[in-house]
Amino acid sequence: MSAATGAVTDALRDLHARFAGVDEGELADYIPQLALADPGAFGLALISMDGHRYSTGDADVPFTVQSVSKPFVYALALSVLGLEEVSRWVNAEPSGEAFNAISLERVTGRPANAMVNAGAIVTTALIPDTPASPRFGRILDCLSRFAGRTLDVDEQVYASEVVTGDRNRALAYLIRSTGPLPVDPVAAVETYFRQCSVRVTALDLAAMAATLANGGVNPLTGDTVVAEPVAAQVLAVMATCGMYDSSGDWLLRVGLPAKSGVSGGLIAAGPARFGLATYSPLLDRTGTSVRGHRAIGTLSQRLGLHLMHNPALAASTVTLVTTADDLPSAPTGERERARYERVAVVAAQGALDFTAAERVLFALDEQRPQDTVGVVLDLLRVTDIGTVARAMLRSGLARLTADGRRAAVADPDGRLREPGGGAADPRCFATREEAVAWCTAEQAG
Ligand code: GLU
Choose among 192, 77, 199: nearest CA to 144. 199
pLDDT at 444 over 50: no
State what percent of residues in the chain have pLDDT above 70: 96
Instruction: Give residues (CB < 6 A) around ligand 1.
Output: 66-67, 99-100, 117, 161, 168, 196, 261-262, 287
Centre of ligand 1 from the C-alpha of residue 436, in Å: 65
Centre of ligand 1 from the C-alpha of residue 53, in Å: 28
> Phi-psi bin for 368: left (phi > 0), alpha (psi -120 to 50), beta?
beta
Q: Is the sign of the CA dihedral 264, 26, 103, 199 positive or negative?
A: positive
Q: Specify the pLDDT at position 274.
A: 95
pLDDT at 102 over 90: no
Q: Specify the pLDDT at position 311.
A: 64
Q: Specify the pLDDT at position 56.
A: 97
Centre of ligand 1 from the C-alpha of residue 387, in Å: 40
Distance between start and end Cα atoms, the chain? 61
pLDDT at 421 over 80: no
Q: Please, which residues have CB within 8 angstroms of residue 363's CB and are 6 or more apart in sequence?
A: 318, 321, 346
Gap between the Cα atoms of 315 and 418, Å rounded: 28
Q: Which atom of ligand 1 is nearest to the CA of 262?
A: 8
Gap between the Cα atoms of 305 and 316, Å rounded: 21
Tens of pLDDT, residues 166-199: 999 999 998 888 877 778 888 999 999 999 999 9
Confidence of residue 365 (pLDDT cuts 50, 70, 90): confident
Q: Which of 178-187, 273-282, 295-304, 310-319 has the lowest mean pLDDT?
A: 310-319
Mean pLDDT value across residues 349-362: 88
Q: Specify the pLDDT at position 84.
A: 97
Q: Specify the pLDDT at position 403.
A: 84
Centre of ligand 1 from the C-alpha of residue 171, in Å: 13
Q: Which atom of ligand 1 is nearest to the CA of 165?
A: 10
Helix (H, G, I), strand (E, B) or coil at 418: coil
Centre of ligand 1 from the C-alpha of residue 284, in Å: 14
Gap between the Cα atoms of 178 and 281, Å rounded: 35
All structural domains of the chain: 6-303 (3.40.710.10), 318-444 (3.30.750.24)
Mean pLDDT value across residues 353-371: 82
Q: Which of 127-131, 368-372, 433-437 has the lowest mean pLDDT?
A: 368-372
What string of DSSP letters covers 160-194?
A: HHHHHTHHHHHHHHHHHHHS---S-HHHHHHHHHH
Tens of pLDDT, residues 208-254: 999 999 999 999 999 999 999 999 999 999 999 999 888 999 999 99
Mean pLDDT value across residues 73-85: 98
Tell me what the pLDDT averaged over the chain comes to.
91
Mean pLDDT value across residues 32-38: 92
Q: Are strands 374-385 and 265-270 parallel, antiparallel or unpaired?
A: unpaired
Tens of pLDDT, residues 402-413: 888 899 999 999
pLDDT at 5 over 70: no
Q: Which of 155-169, 345-359, 365-379 has the lowest mean pLDDT?
A: 365-379
The residue contributing the CA closest to ligand 1 atom 6 is: 67
Q: Specify the pLDDT at position 354.
A: 86
Tens of pLDDT, residues 248-285: 999 999 999 999 999 999 999 999 999 999 999 999 99
pLDDT at 445 over 50: no
